[in-house]
């Protein structure tokens, strides 16, 4: 069986504690708290601007268009989620790195041929360049 399944209950609890949580990267860092607090303040001001004409001028300016993107909740989830992605990859033992030669270059070309020069679907094939002299 698996060694982690045969571990004592104290060790298995320890394994579950090391598992990364989304909340650890979305809420707990200081910059996440600052971002969510600023986002809540911005959108509260946006709601108040519907009743206040002086705030309405601020929230209809060009700068407010950029701030809409910065304080949009989906943007916060994408940016703050990078920390969770790093923690998840460390937890699973995955690494960021360049692809190996086998991953980078396929063993067969686009159409399934071993030789890309004989493949009519591959752009490296000379069949695509045979009428190049007629274009002059």
Model confidence at 106, pLDDT cuts 50, 70, 90, reads low
Q: How far apart are CA 82 and CA 73, in angstroms?
A: 15
Name the residue ranges covered by the structural domains of the chain.
20-97, 98-136
Percent of the chain with pLDDT over 70: 71
With b for 16 or more beta-carbon neighbours within 10 A and e for fewer, the 89-119 pattern comes to: eeeeeeeeeeeeeeeeeeeebeeeeeebeeb
User: Has this prediction a pTM greater than 0.75?
Assistant: no
Q: What is the pLDDT of residues 66-80, one digit of tens each?
A: 999 999 999 999 999
Q: Which residues contact 118 (CB under 8 A, 6 or more apart)?
A: 125
Q: Is the model's pLDDT at 83 over the cut of 70?
A: yes
pLDDT for the residue numbered 29: 93
Model confidence at 104, pLDDT cuts 50, 70, 90, reads low
Query: Terminal CA-to-CA distance of the chain, rounded, Å?
Result: 70
């Amino acid at each position: 069986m698996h060694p982690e399944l045969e571990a004592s209950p104290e060790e298995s609890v320890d394994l579950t504690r090391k598992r990364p949580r989304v909340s650890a990267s979305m809420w707990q860092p200081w910059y996440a708290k600052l971002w969510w607090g600023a986002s809540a303040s911005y959108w509260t001001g946006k709601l108040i601007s519907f009743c206040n004409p002086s705030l309405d001028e601020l929230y209809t300016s060009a700068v407010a268009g950029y701030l809409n993107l910065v304080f949009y909740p989906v943007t916060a989830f994408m940016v703050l989620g990078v920390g969770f992605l790093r923690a998840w990859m460390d937890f699973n033992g995955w690494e960021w790195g360049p692809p190996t030669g086998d991953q980078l270059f396929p063993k067969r070309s686009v159409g399934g041929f071993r030789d890309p020069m004989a493949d009519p679907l591959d752009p490296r094939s000379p069949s695509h360049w045979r009428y190049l002299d007629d274009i002059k």
